[in-house]
Structure 1
């Protein structure tokens, strides 16, 4: 590991940002925890940061030498706000950047794919994390988790397509490696769990773990898009519905050895995460 200076974690109260912050702090690294409300984070310096308010950029960057980047949620063109920030960060001393992207979004693809494409031209030390869909989508605050708790149902347009769902704790472990290892990965890293599961499989496991019946209900992509558009911009809802169709076509039916190779331990299974988080939450 490098003798890191200070790491700016953007989205430090989010699913992967909070876990990355906690791991960095536990390992003795200095962390500036950035969020829209500058909420206190144990062991870290809280700082306000808003992708849509460039006036917050300077204070957040000051004194940092690396950054963990969580894109603005629900934005179909995050490059418009992220690239000006990244140029400013580079010009003020940040030399390593680790970007959270998605296994469904290649370099140069839609949304954060444009930031992925630009990153190697901005920093010599960099990595792009491309995790599969989060296991925490079924246990936390994601619409799937609310639907499971409220209605006992998972609504998708994925059909029987399978996904290598990944634990957010495993994503954070890889993020810390990419931020602090002596040599930055300088590549994109596709992260999955140990097995590919359909949403029917997920519903079965959640039912077995919680003792409450959960079913997977398939929706046409257009109907799913319309439901999502009630809570987010319509163009982003359309993107998510298209990603479900890609899953139905087999685009996410894969597993990788990246978590084991970079952390030295196997990725956690969905059943293990469900037992850890759903039995705890009741």
Structure 2
């Protein structure tokens, strides 16, 4: 990694779950971060690193944002074809002499898959240093009131999915960020994909049981149809095509075991075990006790 004080790491999705955590890890190590996103910190908010306004669909300031950058963390926009804007940006970054690129993808989506697949493949084929993080579903989905699960847990105590008895290797965003930090800063680039999971694979019935056990909240997993799930996703503001894709992933989790896996990536890359769901819920117990009554 370059030592020049003028170089920095660009974090797209700068205020998001993983970018914000990576920014803190970079600051702890004295590495400069430029956090780029559609939203900026509010006055008075504690902020880590430099913040700039960034929109994938408006390239007017992209060259400026890439100045003095040697590595980029890539968070895709909510689109079925993010490569349409991401690949031109990566080309600009290559022209600006950026060497390392780390993409946040999904354990459900391989290099030849939809959505993130084309960007994954482009990095593999065209850049000198790269990694693709492929995490399972975030544990933070259960504590974030802006996420469908976090919101429904607070409103009704319920989780709504079309996964049936399908299992998922839920992972803490802190562990994803730790792997991402190493992918961005280690002297030797990974030049590979990294599938990131927690220590166990669980059904949503299992998740509800853990929440009940740890918090006392009468949580339950409500099994719904893919069509009903699509409607719920669209109600949060997601485009119909993207909402349908997420619902289809639930079907594949139920029928194909799409997310039923556990890897040693967190331990191998960071030297520590990933956090379990029970540990995560225990550490965030207070967020489950702020239930909003209907």
**Residue 41 of structure 1, CA deviation:** 6.1
CA distance in 2, matches of 1:181, 1:244: 35
1:142-221 aligned at under 5 Å gives the runs 142-221=147-226
Q: Is the 8 A contact 1:225 1:241 kept in 2?
A: yes
1:232 and 2:238 equivalent?
yes
Match of 1:94 among 94, 98, 113: 98
Q: Is the 8 A contact 2:101 2:131 kept in 1?
A: yes
1:38-77 aligned at under 5 Å gives the runs 38-39=40-41, 42-72=47-77, 74-77=78-81
Range that drifts further, 39-48 or 94-103: 39-48
Residue deviations 1:100-147 (CA, integer Å, cap 9, x gap): 000000002111111001112331100000000001111113110100
Sort the Cα spacing of 1:60 and 1:66 in 2 relative to 1 into closer, same or farther, 3 A: same
TM-score in terms of structure 2 length: 0.92
Runs of 4+ in 1 over 4 A off after TM superposition: none
Match of 2:112 among 100, 103, 108: 108
CA distance in 2, matches of 1:46, 1:59: 13
Sort the Cα spacing of 1:191 and 1:83 in 2 relative to 1 into closer, same or farther, 3 A: same
TM-score in terms of structure 1 length: 0.96
Range that drifts further, 46-55 or 271-280: 271-280
Cross-structure match for 2:263: 256
Residue deviations 1:153-189 (CA, integer Å, cap 9, x gap): 0000000111000000000000000000011100000
CA distance in 2, matches of 1:146, 1:223: 16
Q: Is the 8 A contact 1:2 1:180 kept in 2?
A: no
**Residue 281 of structure 1, CA deviation:** 6.2
CA distance in 1, matches of 2:65, 2:288: 34
Q: Is the 8 A contact 2:12 2:73 kept in 1?
A: yes
Report the count of equivalent residues: 281
Q: Is the 8 A contact 1:77 1:111 kept in 2?
A: yes
**Residue 38 of structure 1, CA deviation:** 3.4
List alignment gaps of at least 5 residues for structure 1.
none
List alignment gaps of at least 5 residues for structure 2.
290-294
Q: Is the 8 A contact 2:159 2:222 kept in 1?
A: yes
RMSD over aligned CA atoms reads 1.5
CA distance in 2, matches of 1:178, 1:273: 24
Sort the Cα spacing of 1:157 and 1:122 in 2 relative to 1 into closer, same or farther, 3 A: same
CA distance in 2, matches of 1:269, 1:33: 29
Range that drifts further, 38-47 or 94-103: 38-47
Q: Is the 8 A contact 2:234 2:240 kept in 1?
A: yes
Match of 1:131 among 122, 129, 135: 135
